[in-house]
Amino acid sequence: MSNRRSPRTRTVTRAARGASRAARPAVHAAAVVDPRAHSRLVVDGLKQAPSRAMLRAVGFGDQDFDKPQVGIVSTWADLTPCNMHIEELAREAAGGADTAGGKSVTFHTITVSDGISMGTPGMRYSLVSREVIADSIEAVAGAEGFDGLVAIGGCDKNMPGCAMALARLNRPAVFVYGGTIRPGAQRRDIISVFEAVGARAAGRIDDQQLLEVERTAIPGPGSCGGMYTANTMASAIEALGLSLPGSSAQDAVGAAKREDCRRAGAAVMALLREGIRPRDILTRRAFENAITVVIALGGSTNAVLHLLAIARAARVRLALDDFTRVGRRVPVLADLKPSGAYLMSELVAIGGIQPLMRRLLSAGLLHGDCLTVTGRTLAQNLEDVEDYPQDQRIIRPMSEPIKRDSHLVVLYGNVAPEGAVAKITGQEGVSFTGRARVFEGEEAATAAILADRVRPGEVVVIRHEGPRGGPGMREMLSPTSAITGRGLGGRVALITDGRFSGGSHGFVVGHIAPEAAVGGPIVLLRNGDRITIDAVRRRIDVDLSAAELRRRHQAWKPRRPFAEHGLLAKYARMVSSASEGAVTDL
């Protein structure tokens, strides 16, 4: 075989004219960029003939060995509507990379469905899957020598898992959101079904009505339709600069999403030529932008967990208190489900999140100098964005917010010395005091709520659901939906060392740390203890003396682990506190 070509290199300057040094610290003027820095090690030279032979069998021709290789990460699976269409989108992204001069190679990672496993033991694998997704993408890209990546995610854990892997690998990359689902009959979505279960238990609807909701809520492909975790994280990743403008606010089915994928493939080739990598984009200021957009949209509490984890992968210092610091000056502007009235598809119809970001930028709430995957700054991307139609009601003006500061409230106190995260929109009030009703796990709590054994004024305590104790930190959508369905919304509070679905609403506090499994104070609570949640003072406390808490702790004995072998056991041994993002690579 003839000798391979010598390395092709080029000299680049800053791709984003006017980008600040803080926005792009790792790429310097006159830096030498080799777009094939990784694939060259796999396919160039005499000794790599076996590698080339293997790749010829999967479709490589002679000319392909001289092209940058772009890995297309597909999270396709037909086990959930969130991901059932992503294989088609992966083909579009591959075509975009090939047309722009690259050689695409598609590979897959896993997905699990939160909506299907919710309320069952299988939900323990949900947050665990985020780590598996990140690890698997890192493993494949690292082994195969891809020069760049396009990752396409649809369900809740796909997105942060993909972003974590892109940050770890630090190779030119673009994330693409699979898109939101269209509404079902009567504007229903998956949360409509969960709440209908509670309504049926309360006798407010009959079996036939429940069946009708079940049959009509999910009409086809796409992620859950409100500002739940999937749409929240898609918006956050776009605000970080890892997605092309508009990617987070598109229907799953349609020409716009297919074009977004083609453009993403081409964009990775441009990033390769310019030498722009994820950690050039994922700066601390970019994470502040993401927090700002999540708050303005009224997004999921899971964004706290996932942004902490992505920041860890990007080697950026981010802590719970940063959400408080940013949140003091950012209003909630979007009237979106679950706390509001509108669906994501309705926001898409009026322009998505780009006009909102432009408003936030104009108000001085976003860092416009942050670099993005377009090679331009955030401010430059927003220059030509038009405002929303005047008659729309989904996004409030800055002067008339739904809430003047963040709905994501970080609480401390003798129940949560390392912090907890509440979702307080103001509709629930800003404080709650009640007597504890303690449950060891989600199933017991849900059964009691559906059986009408939880009374107004009580604080439902669900423990042993943390990252280690669950393990896997299950989402408490079933009990919170049962509370709403039974008409107890706003009349009871719920606290847990687990977490919440983006579809949960009401007076709820999750991520309580330290968790019960490691002896955190939540494990010491008893029925009848008086608990106060104060969102103004940012406190969650039980009316017990320090001496009494010490006495109870001395009598406490750890529970036997839920899993003693396999993936869940391995995760439980490795996982960090929720206050650190519940990651496994500290």
pLDDT of residue 427 exceeding 80: no
CA 397, distance to chain mean position in Å, is 26
Count of other CB atoms within 10 angstroms of residue 6: 7
pLDDT of residue 149 exceeding 90: yes
Query: Strand 69-74 and strand 148-153: pairing?
Result: parallel
The dihedral formed by the CA atoms of 222, 225, 229 and 234, expressed in degrees to the nearest 10: 60
Integer Cα distance of 100 and 97 in angstroms: 5
Averaging pLDDT over each range in 330-334, 478-482, 560-564, which range is the top one?
330-334
pLDDT of residue 347 exceeding 50: yes
Q: Between 216 and 424, whose confidence is greater?
A: 216
Tell me what pLDDT residue 501 has: 84
pLDDT of residue 74 exceeding 80: yes
Q: Which residue has the tokens 């003091």?
A: 328
Among candidate residues 230, 336, 346, 242, the one with its CA nearest the CA of residue 289: 242
Tell me what pLDDT residue 23 has: 42
Tell me what pLDDT residue 9 has: 34
pLDDT of residue 83 exceeding 70: yes
What percent of the chain is predicted at pLDDT more than 90?
A: 87
pTM: 0.93
Cis peptide before 219 (omega within 30 of 0): no
In 3-state terms, what secondary structure has residue 10?
A: strand
DSSP class of 8: P
Query: Strand 539-542 and strand 530-534: pairing?
Result: antiparallel
Whether 579 contacts 324, CB under 8 Å: no
Whether 137 contacts 146, CB under 8 Å: no
User: Which residues are within 8 A (CB) of 400 and not within 5 positions of it... i.e. 6 or more apart?
Assistant: none
Tell me what pLDDT residue 19 has: 44
pLDDT tens-digit map of 254-271: 999 999 999 999 999 999
pLDDT of residue 15 exceeding 70: no
Query: Rounded mean pLDDT of 444-465?
Result: 96
Q: Between 539 and 30, whose confidence is greater?
A: 539
pLDDT of residue 283 exceeding 60: yes
DSSP assignment of 456-504? TTEEEEEES-STTTTTS--B-HHHHHHHHHTT-BTTBEEEESSB--TT-
pLDDT of residue 4 exceeding 80: no
pLDDT of residue 17 exceeding 90: no
Tell me what pLDDT residue 166 has: 98
Whether 125 contacts 116, CB under 8 Å: no
In 3-state terms, what secondary structure has residue 329?
A: coil
Tell me what pLDDT residue 16 has: 43
What percent of the chain is predicted at pLDDT more than 70?
A: 95
Query: Rounded mean pLDDT of 146-170?
Result: 96
pLDDT of residue 335 exceeding 50: yes
Tell me what pLDDT residue 432 has: 95
Q: Which of 13-17, 478-482, 505-509 has the lowest mean pLDDT?
A: 13-17
Q: Which of 382-386, 506-510, 533-537 has the lowest mean pLDDT?
A: 506-510
Among candidate residues 445, 431, 448, 450, the one with its CA nearest the CA of residue 475: 445
Count of other CB atoms within 10 angstroms of residue 2: 5
DSSP class of 110: -
Q: Determine the Cα angle at 304 with ends 446 and 311, to 5°.
A: 140
pLDDT tens-digit map of 199-248: 898 899 999 999 999 999 999 999 999 999 999 999 999 999 999 999 99
Q: Average model confidence (pLDDT) for the chain?
A: 93
Query: Rounded mean pLDDT of 52-70?
Result: 98
Query: Rounded mean pLDDT of 333-347?
Result: 95
Q: HEC states along 86-105?
A: HHHHHHHHHHHHHHCCCEEE
CA 179, distance to chain mean position in Å, is 14
Sign of the CA dihedral 447, 449, 452, 454?
positive
Tell me what pLDDT residue 191 has: 87
Tell me what pLDDT residue 271 has: 98
Count of other CB atoms within 10 angstroms of residue 13: 11
pLDDT of residue 198 exceeding 90: no
pLDDT tens-digit map of 91-148: 999 999 999 999 999 999 999 999 899 889 999 999 999 999 999 999 999 999 999 9
Q: Indicate which residues carry an active-site annotation.
A: 501
Tell me what pLDDT residue 27 has: 46
Q: What separation in angstroms does the CA of 106 have from each of 98, 113, 141, 157, 262?
A: 12, 22, 11, 20, 14
Tell me what pLDDT residue 119 has: 87
Q: Which residue has the tokens 């008893």?
A: 526
User: Which residues are within 8 A (CB) of 255 and not within 5 positions of it... i.e. 6 or more apart?
Assistant: none
Query: Rounded mean pLDDT of 406-410?
Result: 96
Q: What separation in angstroms does the CA of 139 have from each of 67, 449, 559?
A: 22, 44, 34
Cis peptide before 471 (omega within 30 of 0): yes
